[in-house]
Structure 1
Amino acid sequence: MSDPPAESLPSARALLRERDYVLFWGSRFAGGLAAQIQSVAIGWHIYELARRTMNVAEAAFVVGMVGLVAFIPVFLLTLPAGETVDRYDRRKVMMGCYAAELLTVGVLVWATATGAATVGLILAVAAAFGAARAFMAPAGTALGPMLVPRQLLPRAIAWNSLAFQTASILGPAVGGLLLARSTTLAYATALCLYATAALLVFLIRTDTQPKVNPGSRLALVKEGLAYVWNQKIVLGAISLDLFAVLLGGATALLPVFARDVLHVGEQGFGILRAGPAMGATVVALFLAANPIRSKAGLFMFTGVAVFGAATVVFGLSKSLWLSVAALAVLGGADMLSVYIRQTLVQLVTPDNMRGRVAAVSTLFIGASNELGEFESGVVARFLGPVGAAVFGGVGAMFVTGLWAKLFPALRKADRLE
């Protein structure tokens, strides 16, 4: 049989990449849905266990501890993980991460089914899950751009965010319904979804081995850190997310608000957890069809400021539906700022450094999310859950103004090209 004409090869490669990106998108959706269900179940489960022997404030502090123990391995492993992602096949790294996540949720299935679950065990599982996510985040961030042409990267980022946000809508709602039936069922469902995500990544056939720069592991890590430090737009974007979400992480207290502030139970908790993702999905759909073409920096700062204001409204609300609306606005504003940050970072970063730059970004984001949960738990210990949410929202707005002054290049960033 004769070889195909040369002009047909690029088309064949393009079709393969398109197929593989669909598989990648599906894996991100399935894995994100699993993570959301697992997170909802862990939050509710550990709060229920803690409330058997503690008051509301003390139990809220324990919920915040989940974020801290999940962040510690991220802090310790993210930079080595970034170097690993820039050295080894990114598809295989993702499959290894899914295998570790399957193990963590498998332990939770066993513990709840046998009655062996304790606060300490759940915190240990959260730490193991954090170790897996330390590698997953840079691997997924670096793998996606290898499957799409550069000119389509902004749209691909929006669609990738849409997969995550759709999972974030369905995950809490499904998780709440599953929890109403059985905590074991919630964890088992997450287990099946992680297995599906791993299979989809396994089926990707595009070459995902990056070109490796010469140098020792330590030298490559330092190179990535130096790049982020010297690219002030990148540094400003990821540090803004760090401090704004660190202060405005009131969503970590949703189990407390659902049970002891709004009194809406497990199903209400699932609805509250879906609130931010509903707003984020609407914004992601709009951005996928209508990418931002100018004034990107101004849009980013506006998104973070609205995020802070909506957090204050959520904290003061006494109505389930007003709280859900505030959370939806919060999620939409956060989606806008995240989309701009991810697009800016991806466009200015060469492929052979994407793992390391994504690792630094993951470290900042992990600090904002996990430490934000811990910060909310600590502040709630002294100010109560309502005071913690209001304090965080005001702090996020203050950081927005400060960063607009400290990083004028980011504020003036215009076109995402």
Structure 2
Amino acid sequence: MSAHDRSGWAVFGIGDFRLFGAARFLTGLAYQMQAVAIGWFVYDLTHSALALGFVGLAGFLPAVLCALITGHVADAYDRRLVGAAAFALQSGASLGLLAYALAGYQSVWPIYALVILVGTARAFANPALQALLPTLVPGPQFSSAIAWNASLWQSASVMGPALGGFLYALGPAVVFGGAGGSFALASLLTLLIRFRPAAMSERPPITWAALSAGIDYIRSQPVVLGAISLDLFTVLLGGATALLPIYAGEVLHVGPLGLGALRSMPAFGAVAMAVLLANYPLRRHAGVRMLRAAAVFGAAIVVFGLSTSLPLSMVCLFVTGAADMISVYVRQTFVQGETPDAMRGRVSAVNTVFIGASNELGEFESGLLAAAVGAVPAVVIGGAATIGVALLWGRLFPALKARDRLMVQG
């Protein structure tokens, strides 16, 4: 390829990345605002904490149950079309929630069915889009693209819940209608991406070996396996999100307004770190920095667990978000940047399950431990365990610890 061709491809790719980023932001915003509305809507109907738990389960199960199929689809078909179709399906589910809210029914089971539909669409969208991203930017800009992409999602995580809560005051139908429109626009933007992948000589056959290739690949790559599993156990053990209402009400005594501030701080920290990494990418010592970030995350959780000061607690949560973003940045660069394009979808599908497991199971683990020993000891124990995991992973995965550069030069 000539220098002129490479330059033209770079400009072409960046334009496509902007479309990709806009779609990513719109879907993140829609998902976050809709999640808030669904939670409030279900609680209004049932006044049951267990009913809220079923909402999370309904959203998470499709990613686990469909992981092998969604990864295969992402590798066998045009990833743009898979993503656009998934966003269209999410738009349809949002409109279904809109119709249900307007109808005034009282049964909660149709809501669960629609949440499962949303979860299924996300299960197909995530691996396809994760696998698509590396093809939209030149190699030297890939790590920065990872950071910018993460910052867009985290920005949506800051804005979405607040917007959803504000619009919910006008009625749940307003939120569901807005989310449906956002998903539909994201679907259109994804279709407008001009990049076309090279035509496949043949699609991967639907065999167990083909479907499980992502799992086999991750197991064969100690750096990728170490990065994914480190991120899993860091959030699984050290996450304190599920216990924030207890801290706001019983430890810090700051009420709902303080709870909102606490919940926003990890996302603010993640956005700040993502912007920093986008402008100043990590050049050296990637593995060691990921391990250190996990240890810093754990230490910040320990201090948060012991804090009785709202400002200190907010700073600690800000630090956890920033540290977690370093881990996400390194992990996503390894997973998306080094996996062969022909199997990126299958590997990304497994990665998506790990991410979902760390978040959902982490909240479940926090609740169980808090019920047994109390909220403060549970948070402190979780943070200390995360530090232990960071130290242990340095020994279990020496290849990860020794990894210097984010991208291996081909």
TM-score (norm 2): 0.88
Q: CA contact under 8 A between 1:89 and 1:210: conserved in structure 2?
A: no
Structure 2 counterpart of 1:111: 100
* 1:333 and 2:323 are equivalent in the alignment: yes
The separation in 1 between residues aligned to 2:99 and 2:373, in whole angstroms, is: 37
| 1:111 positional shift | 3.2
Deviations for 1:239-292, whole angstroms, at most 9, x for unmatched residues?
111222122232244456556766666655443332111101110111011111
Structure 1 counterpart of 2:396: 406
* 1:83 and 2:72 are equivalent in the alignment: yes
| 1:201 positional shift | 0.6
Deviations for 1:55-99, whole angstroms, at most 9, x for unmatched residues?
xxxx2x554443333222111111211111000000010011112
Q: CA contact under 8 A between 1:233 and 1:407: conserved in structure 2?
A: yes
Structure 2 counterpart of 1:127: 116
3-state SS of 1:86 partner: helix
* 1:168 and 2:157 are equivalent in the alignment: yes
Q: CA contact under 8 A between 1:312 and 1:394: conserved in structure 2?
A: yes
The separation in 2 between residues aligned to 1:36 and 1:267, in whole angstroms, is: 18
Matches within 5 A, 1:217-296: 217-254=207-244, 268-296=258-286
Q: CA contact under 8 A between 1:88 and 1:209: conserved in structure 2?
A: no
Question: What count of residue pairs does the alignment treat as equivalent?
Answer: 405
The separation in 2 between residues aligned to 1:342 and 1:210, in whole angstroms, is: 25
Deviations for 1:274-322, whole angstroms, at most 9, x for unmatched residues?
2111101110111011111111111111111222233334444455444
Alignment equivalent of 1:307, drawn from 294, 297, 300 = 297
Deviations for 1:22-50, whole angstroms, at most 9, x for unmatched residues?
10111001111111212233344445555
Deviations for 1:358-384, whole angstroms, at most 9, x for unmatched residues?
111112112112222333343444445
| 1:343 positional shift | 1.0
Structure 2 counterpart of 1:3: none
The separation in 2 between residues aligned to 1:319 and 1:124, in whole angstroms, is: 42
Letter of the 1:132 counterpart: A
* 1:16 and 2:20 are equivalent in the alignment: no
| 1:410 positional shift | 0.7
Q: CA contact under 8 A between 1:306 and 1:330: conserved in structure 2?
A: yes
The separation in 2 between residues aligned to 1:345 and 1:41, in whole angstroms, is: 33
Q: CA contact under 8 A between 2:76 and 2:204: conserved in structure 1?
A: no
Q: CA contact under 8 A between 1:65 and 1:374: conserved in structure 2?
A: no
Q: CA contact under 8 A between 1:180 and 1:266: conserved in structure 2?
A: no
The separation in 1 between residues aligned to 2:102 and 2:373, in whole angstroms, is: 36
Structure 1 counterpart of 2:35: 39
The separation in 2 between residues aligned to 1:45 and 1:373, in whole angstroms, is: 21
The separation in 2 between residues aligned to 1:265 and 1:233, in whole angstroms, is: 43
* 1:416 and 2:395 are equivalent in the alignment: no
Structure 2 counterpart of 1:138: 127
> Is the alpha carbon distance of 1:323 and 1:125 closer, same or farther for their aligned partners in structure 2, counting shifts above 3 Å?
farther
Q: CA RMSD in A?
A: 2.7
Structure 2 counterpart of 1:97: 86
Alignment equivalent of 1:191, drawn from 153, 162, 180 = 180
Structure 2 counterpart of 1:363: 353
The separation in 1 between residues aligned to 2:322 and 2:58, in whole angstroms, is: 28
3-state SS of 1:108 partner: helix
Structure 2: gaps of 5 or more residues:
none
The separation in 2 between residues aligned to 1:191 and 1:267, in whole angstroms, is: 28
